[in-house]
């Protein structure tokens, strides 16, 4: 809504992240994605009468770690509640969640908002179970149910309505995904549905201290649709207000195909769910020692890592942020530096050639078919003048697509480095004859002219000449004349 000066949008998110535990939250079934439908379930997670849930300790640990990484207070006593509603993907007809006493409260996350930093407040993080999956068969007009996802542990991260643009929403989600990946509590694979967001959005006059009426859009599962949904909903609300209408508080369904949202139902309130404390589970009671133990296991988080890259390796803020925007990429970078590579060179290769090819390939996660040693070796080969920058680019492309070390690729593809004195000298003679002006310039003291001649010689040899030799031979020829 950047074109609109008079209104301001307020967005709050409810983000569901599946926890990466081996088993489900209240039974021993595997919690992993995939598997034939209805093969990863038991009487507990398929809601048979008379069964009892047993809380998975690992799910609590994961949730506490997420809470600590997001600056939350961890409640020493928290309670699971029943949220009652009927829907075919919920065989018990209630979801075990937390309403009155969630596990984590009052967190925050710093995001970049334009040139400044901004804190997005996190109201709470609660622990709950996932529902099953409905698979609609449009042609046969039937719906199938897969209970494998029932009972997969989730954390729901609830923010305050502190985001004022789709850009801030994106920043928040990217940071959140990154942090959850760093602490290894969630895979955050949006295409597998392990990270989904509900978007609450309202608009108000700029500077007005009171929020407008909000709508909610549920279960968006890609960054792209979240951003589009925010922008389109803001526009829809603005149009209504400008035409003198009123916003109705409701839940809306976002359609990616149509690029707009449709009313689904009027907004439900907490009391509609008849929440009550889950009678089959004890309160979760944890102590300081437990929290400290988890706190000490939190690895260096992306923001701190980025700061360290700037101070330790002299990378720019932007470069540090880009590299640390994925734990996999940052780990790879650090190992390359450990193998002796110049940090700035390593960063350039990863952020330039590597990310370009990676983004073209549309792969979700960074994939490396070559090793940090391989990249370090290539940087060294260039430094030693063994290969030219141009050849290095070809070699790197092979490393990216097929894998292997630069030495192997050079050998296998018979990439020749032209280091034959006579051949190079002949090319230099030709270039000097064609550019008498440059030779004159050099002799009259313009050192820059040598660079021009080097460039021409490299071009003539298709970038294959050994650049160190070229330079030496040019200076020799020019001073000999």
The sheet with strand 73-74 has its strands ordered as 73-74, 104-113, 116-129, 153-159, 7-18, 195-205, 215-220, 250-255, 260-266
- We find the least distance from the C-beta atom of residue 20 to Zn ion, in angstroms, to be 17
- Which of Zn ion, Mn ion, none binds 199 (CB below 5-8 Å, type-dependent)? none
Q: Which of 14, 465, 1 is nearest to 195 (CA)?
A: 14
Tell me: does residue 124 bind Mn ion (CB under 5 A): no
Give me the least distance between CB of 131 and Mn ion, in Å please: 9
Nearer to Zn ion, 91 or 343 (CB): 91
Which range binds Mn ion by CB under 5 A, 74-82, 149-157, 293-301, 306-314?
149-157
Candidates 44, 55, 330, 453: give the one binding Zn ion (CB under 5 A). Answer: 44
Using CB distances below 5 to 8 A depending on partner kind, what does residue 29 bind out of Zn ion, Mn ion, none?
Zn ion
- The 316-355 contact track toward Mn ion, x by CB under 5 A, reads ----------------------------------------
Q: How far is the CB of 261 from Mn ion (least distance, A)?
A: 19
- Look at residue 156 and give the partner it binds from Mn ion, Zn ion, none, a contact being a CB closer than 5 to 8 Å depending on partner kind: Mn ion
Helix (H) or strand (E) holding 389: helix 389-401
What distance lies between CA 49 and its chain's CA centroid? 41
Q: Which of 63, 81, 215, 183 is nearest to 124 (CA)?
A: 63
What is the C-alpha R_g of the chain?
Answer: 29
* Alpha carbon distance 233, 213 (integer Å): 13
Among 14, 33, 38, 42, which residue interacts with Zn ion (rule: CB under 5 A)? 42
- At which residue do the structure tokens 């200076």 appear? 475
37's torsion region: left (phi>0), alpha (psi -120 to 50) or beta?
Answer: beta
**Segment contacting Mn ion (CB under 5 A): 102-110, 150-158, 198-206, 423-431?**
150-158
For Zn ion, give the closer residue by CB, 25 or 220: 25
Q: How far is the CB of 239 from Mn ion (least distance, A)?
A: 30
Q: Which residues contact 372 (CB under 8 A, 6 or more apart)?
A: 332, 335, 336, 338, 339
Residue whose CB is nearest to Mn ion in the complex, by number:
156
Q: Work out whether strand 116-129 and strand 104-113 pair parallel, antiparallel, or are unpaired.
A: antiparallel
Task: Give the binding-site size for Mn ion (rule: CB under 5 A).
Answer: 1
Question: Cβ of residue 303: shortest distance to Mn ion, in angstroms?
Answer: 27
Q: Determine, following the binding rule CB under 5 A, whether residue 111 of this chain makes contact with Zn ion.
A: no
Q: Which does 66 bind (CB under 5 to 8 A by kind): Mn ion, Zn ion, none?
A: none
DSSP characters over 430-463 = HHHHH-HHHHHHHHTT-THHHHHHHHHHHHHTTT
CB of 54 vs Mn ion, minimal distance in Å:
21
Nearest CB to Zn ion, comparing residues 149 and 177: 149
CB 198 within 8 A of CB 218: yes
Q: Which stretch binds Zn ion (CB under 5 A): 45-53, 255-263, 302-310, 393-401?
A: 45-53
129 binds Mn ion (CB under 5 A): no
199 token code pair: 């978007």
Number of residues that bind Zn ion (CB under 5 A): 5
Binding site partner of 45, from Mn ion, Zn ion, none, Cβ cut-off 5-8 A by kind: Zn ion
- Please identify which residue in 156, 162, 181, 198 interacts with Mn ion, judged by CB under 5 A: 156
Nearest CA-CA partner of 234 in 217, 220, 222, 219: 217
Closest separation in Å from C-beta 26 to Zn ion: 8
- Which residue's CB is nearer to Zn ion, number 27 or number 438? 27
Q: Does 27 bind Zn ion (CB under 5 A)?
A: yes
Task: Kindly tell me which residue out of 17, 25, 31, 45 binds Zn ion, with binding defined by CB under 5 A.
Answer: 45
Residues 256, 250, 17, 280, CA torsion sign: negative
Question: Which tokens go with 1?
Answer: 């809504």
Instruction: Decide if 214 contacts 200 (C-beta within 8 A).
Output: yes
Q: How far is the CB of 125 from Mn ion (least distance, A)?
A: 11
CB of 30 to Zn ion, least distance (A): 9
Helix-helix angle 448-460:421-434, to 10 degrees: 120
Structure tokens at 209: 């201290």
Shortest CB 237 distance to Mn ion, Å: 24
| Residue located via tokens 């039937």 | 142
Yes or no: say if 108 and 120 are a contact pair by the CB < 8 Å rule: yes
Pick between residue 151 and residue 161 the one whose CB is nearest to Zn ion.
Answer: 151
Does 29 sit near Zn ion (CB under 5 A)?
A: yes
Apex CA 309: angle with CA 303 and CA 315, to 5°? 120
Helices (H), 112-270: 166-182, 223-242
CB under 5 to 8 A by kind: which of Mn ion, Zn ion, none does 44 bind? Zn ion
Residues that bind Mn ion (CB under 5 A): 156
Residues that bind Zn ion (CB under 5 A): 27, 29, 42, 44-45
């Amino acid at each position: 809504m950047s074109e609109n000066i008079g209104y301001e949008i307020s967005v709050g998110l409810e983000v569901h992240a599946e926890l990466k535990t081996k088993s489900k939250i209240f039974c021993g079934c595997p919690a992993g994605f995939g598997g034939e439908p209805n093969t990863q379930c038991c009487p507990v997670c398929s809601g048979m009468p008379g069964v009892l849930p047993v809380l998975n300790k690992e799910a609590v640990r994961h949730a506490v770690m997420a809470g600590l990484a997001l600056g939350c207070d961890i409640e020493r006593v928290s309670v699971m509640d029943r949220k009652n509603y009927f829907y075919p993907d919920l065989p018990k007809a209630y979801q075990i969640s937390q309403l009155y006493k969630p596990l984590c409260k009052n967190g925050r996350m710093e995001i970049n908002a334009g040139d400044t930093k901004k804190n997005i407040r996190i109201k709470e993080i609660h622990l709950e179970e996932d529902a099953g999956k409905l698979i609609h068969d449009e042609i046969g007009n039937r719906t199938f149910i897969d209970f494998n996802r029932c009972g997969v542990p989730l954390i729901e991260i609830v923010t305050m309505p502190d985001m004022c643009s789709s850009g801030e929403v994106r920043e928040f989600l990217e940071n959140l995904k990154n942090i959850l990946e760093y602490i290894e509590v969630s895979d955050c694979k949006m295409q597998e549905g392990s990270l989904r967001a509900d978007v609450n959005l309202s608009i108000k006059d700029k500077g007005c201290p009171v929020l407008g009426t909000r709508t909610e859009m549920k279960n968006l599962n890609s960054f792209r649709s979240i951003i589009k949904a925010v922008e389109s909903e803001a526009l829809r609300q603005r149009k209504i207000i400008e035409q003198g209408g009123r916003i109705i508080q409701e839940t809306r369904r976002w359609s990616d195909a149509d690029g707009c949202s449709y009313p689904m139902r009027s907004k439900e309130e907490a009391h509609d769910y008849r929440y009550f404390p889950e009678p089959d589970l004890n309160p979760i009671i944890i102590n300081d020692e437990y929290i400290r133990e988890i706190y000490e296991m939190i690895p260096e988080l992306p923001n701190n890592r980025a700061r360290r890259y700037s101070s330790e390796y002299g990378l720019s803020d932007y470069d540090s942020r880009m590299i640390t925007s994925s734990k996999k990429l940052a780990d790879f970078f650090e190992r390359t530096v450990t193998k002796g590579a110049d940090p700035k060179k390593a960063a350039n290769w990863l952020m330039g050639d590597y990310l370009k090819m990676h983004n073209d390939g549309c792969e979700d996660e960074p994939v490396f078919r070559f090793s940090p040693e391989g990249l370090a070796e290539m940087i060294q080969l260039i430094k030693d003048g063994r290969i030219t920058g141009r050849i290095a680019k070809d070699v790197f492309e092979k490393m990216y697509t097929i894998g292997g070390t630069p030495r192997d690729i050079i050998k296998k593809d018979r990439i020749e480095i032209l280091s034959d004195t006579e051949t190079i000298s002949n090319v230099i003679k030709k270039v000097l004859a064609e550019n008498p002006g440059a030779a004159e310039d050099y002799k009259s003291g313009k050192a820059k002219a040598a660079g021009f001649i080097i460039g021409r010689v490299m071009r003539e040899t298709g970038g294959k000449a050994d650049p160190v030799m070229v330079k030496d031979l040019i200076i020799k020829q020019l001073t000999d004349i």
